[in-house]
Chains A and B, each alone.
Chain A
Amino acid sequence: MLVHSRGAKWAVWAVFLLLFVPLFALPLLVVLGASFATHWSSVLPSGLTTANYRAATRGEALQALTTSLLTAAGASLLALAVGTWAALAGAALKQRYRRVVDALFVLPVAVPSVVVGLSVLVAFSKPPMLLNGTRWIVILAHTVLVTAFAHQSVSAAVTRLDPAYEQAAASLGARPSTVLWRVRLPLLLPSLTAAAGLCFALSMGELSATMMLYPPDWTPLPVLIYAATDRGALFTGSAVAVVLMAATLLVLFALSRVRTRASYR
């Protein structure tokens, strides 16, 4: 379309590959490669082994994986519920009020995660809401952080929803609650699963707020990876990182299957 001559096309593609491969493909490949190695002091890693994975799938690493999965699942579900509620309630409001709700719910995106961590720490370290030192403070912080994303993507979908469906339902005698449960939410299902996937991935990789809050018995994967690399165990850290990526992708894939079924039913 833009470049017509064969030579120029190949030149453009060569530049693209030269930028794309080292910057984006290489990092992921390198982490994958390192996770199977014991040394890396040349072009390629050496001392190939699967020992890193044995370490990354048992003991504290396995526990961290469970911790991360539970935290991410809990935070995404809570965030999805609150975000969807806010998006649906906000859409029914007048422009003026809707803007306020939107602005409030988008604020956590702009506030640094570290600050969210700090503020939760400050607020919930003393009675009556003493959560510090429990797993709940981690889940709470994650929920706050990802709610903004859930709200944003659901409210975009709500705006796109054709009002003809709700009106058809209403004309057939469906009360607003029936319209919500039988028509609007099923129609939003694809967007809801997409939002859930986004929240889940963000929570799985959350490090900033978690570093400020995690109790010793609730260590998510990113903290474990940091701890490993901090003490120099880069290769074990890589294996744990691959486990983290694989777990995230697996859940995202499962959610996208649900989404495909939901949108082609």
Chain B
Amino acid sequence: MGIRFDSVTVAYDGNVVLDQLDLTVEPGEVMALLGPSGSGKTTALRAVAGFVRPVSGRVLLGGRDVTDLPPYRRGIGMVVQQYALFPHMRVDENVAFGLRARKAAKGEIRQRVAEALEMTGMAAYARRHPRELSGGQQQRVAIARALAIRPDVLLLDEPLSALDARLRSGMLSELARLHRELPDVSMLYVTHDQVEALTLADRIAVMDKARLQSCGTPKELYRSPADEFTASFVGGANLVPVTVGSGGVSFAGTELKVDTTGVLAGARATLCVRPHLVGLGEGPNRVVGTVTEIQWRGATHRLYVEVDGHSVMADLRELRNPPALGDAVALHFAPEDAVLLPAGVTHE
């Protein structure tokens, strides 16, 4: 079952927290809503669940307008950051809750609870209380509870952010496996973590300041972001203001070769290059600057180089002889690794 936001606007006391969102999640698709806190991504999810009512616009589930439907009639599975497992019920009772609320038959409840716990690897913990489980285990139970009602749509609100880094990557692959096992379930996955979004999502909707900034597959957003916010929020990027010439741009008095298809000569634009695509030393598209900071990150060195008043980051495979602070260095990048974006905040 697909989800459709049809120009959905949500406001509290005149404060617009979600501004005319138009977005469609196809049946069986994993859509990540990615953005910083306050970007409106959680509000969008809660509008699907039915906990916030849009001031205008419609929310559709499988083509049906559910805007005025109370949450308990929507048949949606939801998993939240703090799990919200019922502390007074055992694990199996938690998982059975939705089925009991639907007055399912006893045998069916037993079978579906077992199935959901099996799927999340929690079958051995059925008679425990939530407080006797670790964070990761609680999260699995929360997912099992949501899946037990066999929802067509699963909403996940920052499901991994209460876990520590090691558990998080494990749960991430668990979620990916669940998605493979349940190919018909649409998932709306709210996160502020771009790694989670890139790993899990079929498509990513990037949100900022209550608005949808851009939407596309992870590769599209990463390789050819459409705007500065998307470029820096998804994967991190060097963004510098340039003036477009013919067949290239000029930056800091240097002519750089870039694909300028579709951009008028003489226009101002933003040049975007991912830090790991920047090389140290001589090469095509070369700029010169001063090292202002060096961070050793084990496998890589990150260099901050000031070029004509702009800070440029370069992620380099661990250097034998890294430059010193204040050294003048040359940086370069391949023309095909650069993307030209419309001029934005870097010009202000």
Contacts and interface: CB of A to CB of B under 8 A. Distances in A.
Q: Touch between A and B in complex, CB under 8 Å? A: yes
Interface of A: 162, 164-165, 167-176, 178, 182-183, 186-187, 189, 262, 265
Given A167-B71, A187-B87, A172 B80 contact: no
Nearest 6 pairs of A and B residues by beta carbon: A172-B98, A164-B84, A174-B101, A170-B71, A171-B78, A168-B84
Given A172-B145, A173-B149, A265-B88, A167 B49 contact: yes
Contacts of B155: 171
Contacts, number: 73
Given A167-B51, A168-B78, A265-B129, A173 B98 contact: yes
A171 B76 contact: yes
Instruction: Say whether chain A's binding surface is mostly helix, strand, loop, or mixed.
Output: helix
Given A164-B82, A167-B51, A167-B71, A172 B88 contact: no
Interface string B80-124: 101011111000000001100110000000000000000000000
B27 interface: no
A164 B49 CA distance: 12
A162 B97 contact: no
A54 B72 CA distance: 61
Of A164, A187, A189, most buried by chain B (CB within 10 Å of CB) is A164
B291 to A, nearest CB: 48
B97 A169 contact: yes
B80 A168 contact: yes
Nearest to A176: B72
**Most-contacted residue by chain B among A165, A173, A189, A265 (CB, 10 A):** A173
B75 interface: yes
From A164, A170, A172, name the one whose CB has the most chain B CB atoms within 10 angstroms. Answer: A172
Nearest to A162: B84
B70 interface: yes
Contacts of B82: 162, 164
Identify which of B70, B87, B145 gathers the most chain A CB atoms within 10 Å of its CB: B87
B218 interface: no
A16 B191 CA distance: 55
A174 B98 contact: yes
Given A171-B71, A171-B77, A165 B86 contact: yes
Nearest to A165: B84
Given A164-B80, A175-B101, A170 B70 contact: yes
Given A164-B82, A169-B97, A178-B101, 19 more contacts: A164-B80, A164-B84, A165-B86, A167-B84, A168-B145, A170-B51, A171-B72, A172-B72, A172-B97, A172-B149, A173-B72, A173-B101, A173-B149, A174-B72, A174-B97, A174-B101, A187-B87, A187-B88, A262-B88
B142 to A, nearest CB: 8
Contacts of B50: 170-171
A167, A183, A189, most chain B CB atoms within 10 A: A167
B72 A170 contact: yes
25 contacts: A164-B82, A164-B84, A167-B49, A167-B78, A167-B80, A167-B84, A168-B84, A169-B86, A170-B71, A171-B49, A171-B50, A171-B146, A172-B77, A172-B97, A172-B101, A172-B145, A173-B73, A173-B75, A173-B102, A178-B101, A183-B86, A186-B88, A187-B86, A187-B87, A262-B88
Interface string B44-62: 0000011100000000000
Contacts of A187: 86-88
A95 to B, nearest CB: 12
A96 B102 CA distance: 35
A38 to B, nearest CB: 53
Contacts of A182: 97, 101
A265 B94 CA distance: 14
Contacts of B87: 187, 265
Residue among A171, A178, A183 with most chain B CB within 10 A: A171
B115 to A, nearest CB: 16
A189 B87 CA distance: 12
B210 to A, nearest CB: 22
Contacts of A265: 87-88, 129
A164 B102 CA distance: 20
